[in-house]
């Protein structure tokens, strides 16, 4: 049972935290208590649905990659690659997770169900086709995170700023290129044997891509913070003052990745204490700014 739970990769459910963006930045906790709790419950439901949908595609990906995973120094320990989980059981688990996600999501709102379908189809296509196409492999991964952000907005029936969507896309494209850089640093000569596209990337090219996407993410965040629509919603443009924390986290993430300290962004996020402190400080300051103005907490 433990091996099948590992197949679902619950540690990676942290990626679905993007679902909560709309809940926070749309000021849902400024509404009456019953409405705030309902919005929180809906968002938690969307998070659970996306987690199950993500587990579905993780299992499908492991089923398809179990042979190539066996040559990876870390992925060879995954249940299917190591032979600790059987293919029929994995198939059944994938179907159950996918069906549960789609049924629950559609019951919450048909739009959420549609987004989940789009996410599963996109990610399966990634496993079949896109991960073998240089650059497009990372673009598709980033689009999956945009779907997460959209799901969070849809489920609580709020609109989402285009700048925030573009910022999410750029940031997650940065994370995807970081993962490729980490894989090359870790696998070195075996990188192309593990994934063909890794042979097409070079450390210099990825360094350039990391620079471009990190700058794009920061610029889009600033444009979102200073956008008139954001100012009307929040009553302030003070989110720009959280930029130092954004820059610190991005720069540290890039530095550790390019040094090969971490090959997996999730592992970096969960283990690197300075990065975690930066994220927590950014989150705390953002919440104070988003909710503090109209409550007179500062200003």
Q: Which of 79-83, 106-110, 111-115, 130-134 has the lowest mean pLDDT?
A: 79-83
pLDDT digits (tens, 9 = 90+) for 4-21: 888 888 888 988 999 998
pLDDT digits (tens, 9 = 90+) for 79-97: 777 768 788 888 899 999 9
Model pLDDT, residue 258: 76
How sure is the predictor about 188, in pLDDT bands with cuts at 50, 70 and 90? low
How sure is the predictor about 284, in pLDDT bands with cuts at 50, 70 and 90? very high
Q: Which token pair is 70?
A: 């066996």
**Which residues are CB-neighbours of 270 under 8 A, at least 6 positions away?**
11, 14
Is residue 297 pLDDT above 50, yes or no?
no
First-to-last alpha carbon distance for the chain, in angstroms, is 54
Instruction: Specify the pTM.
Output: 0.84
Long-range CB pairs of 59-67 (<8 Å, 24+ gap) are 59/7, 59/8, 59/90, 59/93, 59/94, 59/97, 60/94, 60/123, 60/124, 60/127, 61/123, 61/127, 62/7, 62/90, 63/87, 63/90, 63/91, 63/94, 64/127, 64/128, 65/127
- Top-confidence residue, 285 or 262: 285
Is residue 229 pLDDT above 50, yes or no?
yes
Model pLDDT, residue 78: 77
CA proximity to 23, closest of 114, 147, 111, 154: 154
Model pLDDT, residue 69: 67
Model pLDDT, residue 299: 43
Instruction: Please provide the average confidence, as pLDDT, over all residues in the chain.
Output: 85
Whole-number Cα distances in Å, 19 to 13, 46, 174, 257: 11, 7, 19, 25
């Amino acid at each position: 049972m433990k091996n099948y739970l590992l197949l679902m990769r619950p540690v990676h459910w942290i990626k679905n935290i993007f679902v909560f963006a709309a809940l926070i930045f749309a000021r849902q906790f400024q509404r009456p208590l019953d409405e705030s709790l309902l919005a929180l419950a809906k968002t938690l439901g969307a998070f659970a649905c996306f987690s199950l949908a993500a587990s579905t595609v993780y299992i499908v990906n492991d089923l398809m990659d179990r042979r190539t995973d066996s040559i990876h120094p870390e992925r060879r320990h995954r249940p299917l690659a190591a032979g600790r989980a059987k293919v029929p059981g994995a198939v059944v688990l994938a179907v159950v997770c996918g069906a549960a996600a789609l049924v629950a999501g559609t019951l919450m709102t048909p739009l959420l169900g549609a987004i989940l379908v789009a996410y599963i189809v996109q990610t399966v296509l990634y496993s079949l086709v896109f991960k073998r196409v240089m650059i497009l492999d990372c673009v598709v991964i980033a689009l999956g995170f945009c779907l997460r952000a959209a799901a969070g907005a849809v489920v609580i029936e709020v609109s989402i700023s285009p700048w925030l969507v573009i910022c999410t896309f750029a940031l997650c494209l940065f994370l995807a290129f970081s993962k490729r850089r980490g894989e090359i640093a870790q696998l070195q000569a075996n990188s192309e044997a593990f994934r063909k596209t890794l042979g097409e990337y070079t450390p210099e090219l990825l360094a350039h891509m990391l620079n471009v996407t990190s700058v794009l993410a920061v610029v889009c965040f600033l444009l979102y913070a200073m956008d008139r629509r954001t100012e009307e919603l929040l009553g302030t443009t003070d989110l720009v003052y959280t930029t130092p924390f954004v820059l610190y986290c991005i720069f540290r993430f890039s530095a550790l990745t390019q040094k090969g300290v971490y090959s997996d962004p999730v592992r970096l996020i969960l283990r690197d204490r300075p990065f975690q402190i930066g994220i927590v400080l950014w989150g705390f300051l953002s919440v104070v700014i988003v909710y503090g103005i109209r409550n007179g907490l500062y200003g």
